[in-house]
Structure 1
Amino acid sequence: MSRYLVRERIAQHAKILPAIEVAPQPALPEVDRSFEMPRALYGAMVAAFLGFIGVLGIGLQSPGLVIPMAIFAFFIIAGFAVPAIWTRLAPDSGQKAMTVEQLMRRGIATHTGRCEGLDAAVQMLVLPVLILGWAIAIVIIAATV
């Protein structure tokens, strides 16, 4: 059907719209991508989770566990590396993560209210340390049985 349409005939019936003026875009809001907590606490979490994998890998040595343990370690590293890279991709917003000293001095605002620095660090590290302790307990139980 399109072969029967002539260009001139289409042009006669076409409606030409006026040009649309594009308004300038407003400035993007400033976004804090620092996650605010000190990097040392994230490093301690990674160390505890990798310690969990290491303790189980050494304590329960088996050729069949090499690949799963490597995969677990990869996911732990990726789970912390990807957000760390994401924080550096943002344009310079001026927001920096707190140092441990600043956290201990000022504390941090949470969804449920203000939290002292030491309390926030303990809350952040309780689960990773318990998981590491669980791995140590599993290896001790396996060694004694």
Structure 2
Amino acid sequence: MAEKLTRRQIAEAATISAQAPRQLRNAPVDRTFELPGILYAATVGLFLGYVAIMGWGFAHPEMILPVAIFAIFIVAGFGVPAIWTRLAPDSPARAKSWSRFVAEGIDTATGPLDAKAASVQVVILPVLIFGWGVAVVSIAALAR
């Protein structure tokens, strides 16, 4: 709820200082998500593979532009965060290497996961989407 405060109440609660506060440097931020790059590459590859299969299976000159737009969005959707992780070069946080990922796993909001479980959680949706694309193109080819 909002509460109206008078100037007197604000003055009593405020800390007044004659000197301006000095600038405090923010703590480094971990922007890596702690996953190795190979998982991102696999995800991008599966999404682009889905777009390629759909573009090949339903090839038509009018589909060139939508397929290109989808591919650009996928690359941008993963490229911008990849650039974002490198914006603070003085940050000590780095993405885990695959060997470190296998050895340590990853901490999630629901608890720690080993590398196998975390990898499955990351790539399950792209694999299902890719499989769906293969199934749709196969069904369309059989129905013709």
State the TM-score, normalized to the length of structure 1. 0.84
How many residues are aligned here? 126
Identity of aligned pairs, percent? 48
2:35 matches 1:60: no
TM-fit CA distance, 1:142: 0.6
Structure 2 residue aligned with 1:124: 122
Question: Please, what is the CA RMSD of the aligned residues?
Answer: 1.0
Runs of 4+ in 1 over 4 A off after TM superposition: none
Structure 1 residue aligned with 2:100: 102
State how 1:43-82 maps to structure 2 within 5 Å: 43-82=41-80
Structure 1 residue aligned with 2:22: 24
Q: What SS is found at the alignment partner of 2:112?
A: strand
TM-fit CA distance, 1:22: 2.2
Amino acid of the residue matched to residue 87 of structure 1?
T
Decide whether the 8 Å contact of 2:28 with 2:92 is kept in 1: no
TM-fit CA distance, 1:68: 0.6
Question: Distance between the aligned counterparts of 1:143 and 1:82, measured in 2?
Answer: 36
Amino acid of the residue matched to residue 35 of structure 1?
F
Stretches of structure 1 that go unaligned for 5 or more consecutive residues are 1-19
Q: Which of the residues 129, 132, 135 maps onto 1:134?
A: 132
Structure 1 residue aligned with 2:110: 112
Amino acid of the residue matched to residue 114 of structure 2?
E
